[in-house]
């Protein structure tokens, strides 16, 4: 089952099983949070898709007995989403895929990092109030 906690600093963490069935939970939670933070409908839709793509990329290499952690917080006008999972090989996500193309087009910034313990994290940022705005 999923669990959700909110700290006083407005950080939301959601941990779900590393199973495609739970991607919808990540999408919905992110959308609800973005709506509460006054993101526009278009921006919310972009985030819904971007989080899904990040989760799908991680699931393609994830240890399926593990979990996917989605950590969301707001930094000024930017929603920062860090999606991470324990993977079987500590892979670096390929950039020449539809998933990465969609992810990088919908987020303002995307980065992937791998730790020594083969945890891979995709960090995406989405600015409120329209991409390209100052």
Partner 1 sequence: VEFDVKITSETPLAWVTVAGEVDVYTADALREALREAEADSKQIIVDLLEVNFLDSTGIGVLVGSLKRLREGGGDLHLVVTQPSVLKVLRITSLDRVFQVHADLDEARSAAEAGASGADKASR
> Is 106 near partner 1 (CB under 8 A)?
yes
Q: What are phi and psi of 120, to 5 degrees?
A: -110, 135
CA distance 76 to 24: 27
Residue with smaller CB distance to partner 1, 20 or 129: 20
Residue with smaller CB distance to partner 1, 33 or 62: 62
Nearest to 124 by CA among 23, 36, 18, 49: 49
Among positions 35, 37, 99, 121, the unique one binding partner 1 when judged by CB under 8 A:
99
Structure-token pair, residue 88: 């079987």
Residues forming contacts to partner 1 in the complex (CB under 8 A) are: 20-21, 23-24, 27, 42, 45, 48-49, 52-53, 56, 59, 97-99, 101-102, 105-106
């Amino acid at each position: 089952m999923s669990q959700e906690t909110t700290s006083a600093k407005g950080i939301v963490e959601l941990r779900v099983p590393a199973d495609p069935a739970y991607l919808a939970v990540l999408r919905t939670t992110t959308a609800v949070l973005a709506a509460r933070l006054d993101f526009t409908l278009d921006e919310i839709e972009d985030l819904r898709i971007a989080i899904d793509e990040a989760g799908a990329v991680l699931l393609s290499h994830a240890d399926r007995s593990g979990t996917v952690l989605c950590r969301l917080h707001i930094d000024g006008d930017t929603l920062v989403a860090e999606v991470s999972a324990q993977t079987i090989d500590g892979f670096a996500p390929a950039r020449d895929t539809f998933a990465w193309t969609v992810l990088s087009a919908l987020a303002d910034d995307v980065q992937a990092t791998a730790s020594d313990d083969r945890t891979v994290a995709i960090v995406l940022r989405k600015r409120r109030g329209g991409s390209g705005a100052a």
